Structures are given as structure tokens and as C-alpha cells.
Amino acid sequence: MTRIFVDSDACPVKNEVYRVASRYNMHVFIVSNRMIMVPESSLIERIVVDAGPDVADDWIAERVSDGDIVITADIPLAARCVEKGAYVLEPKGRILDGDAIGMALAVRNLMTDLRSAGVMTPGGSAFGKADRSRFLSALDTLVIKARKPRLRPLTLPNG
């Protein structure tokens, strides 16, 4: 059964995740290092981890499995989850899959290097209505995709 994991400390689309999860009867893990209010629902589980760098990321990466959906803007976490066969969606609606994650990691590393060299880099654009709409559409698409049986490569006997 597909589950949704939300890297939730700074996630602006938690309410959208709750709506979609309710519609499809999916279990959601809201993972953070501080107490976050969540709706009263048997489908939503709040996980509060210890404070510290990457503690919430580690919790998610250790538990996510093939076909689950992860909501995060954290590119290294996204890469770990894609490697395990999960679908990853950024809050602005960009799907990070095996094809996109390499470029996303490269851009993130380049920007980190530029900032540590003292170069002023542009920040991301503000989160808006179009982002929320794009996210909802992409999440709905991923849920439908994740619930379909995946085709496995056909293995032929040696001969």
C-alpha cells in the first residue's frame, strides 16, 4: 500500500496532502523535529524526531520503500528516496525522478559551492497559487501512478 511521507518542518502544502490522502484513503507520515498540528485522523501520523541536522531526513529515508510518495524540497533526501524506488514531489509541484534527480543534485551542489565562495546567488521565487495548483495536480498524478502495478522486466530463461 502506497504511503505518503512529508518532510514537514517548512512544507507549505500539508493541507493539500491531507485532502488528497483522505480522498484516496492513504496513510500519511508528517515528519518534523518540532510539534506540528495535524488533523485528527487515523490516516495521519505525526512523527516528531530529535532536533539535529538530517534527523527527519534519516527517519524518512530509512522507512520509505518502493512506490511510496515523499514530499520534500530537500534534494539530498529526494535522491535517497528515489534510489529506494519512491516517487518524490517538491512543494512547488516538480517531480524528482531518476531522470531529474541527477541534475537537481548538480545544481544544488553548484549553488552551495558558489555561496561558500562568497558569490551572491538568487533565492527561490515566492510560493504562490500556481505552485499550489501545480502541486495538487502532480500529487494526484503520482498517487494514481503509484497505485498501478509496476511492470517488472521480463526475464527469459537462458537458452
pLDDT tens profile 114-143: 567 776 766 667 888 999 999 999 999 999
**Coil, helix or strand for 71?**
strand
154 is a domain residue: no
User: Does residue 140 form part of some domain?
Assistant: yes
Asked if residue 20 lies in contact with residue 2, where contact means CB atoms within 8 angstroms, the answer is no
CATH number at residue 119: 3.40.50
- pLDDT at residue 124 in the model: 67
In tens, the pLDDT along 68-97 reads 999 999 989 999 999 999 999 999 999 988
Q: How far is CA 141 from CA 3, 39, 40, 89, 146, in A?
A: 14, 24, 26, 11, 9
Predicted model pTM: 0.82
The total domain count for the chain is: 1
Owning domain of residue 30: 4-147
Contact 121, 107 (CB under 8 A): no
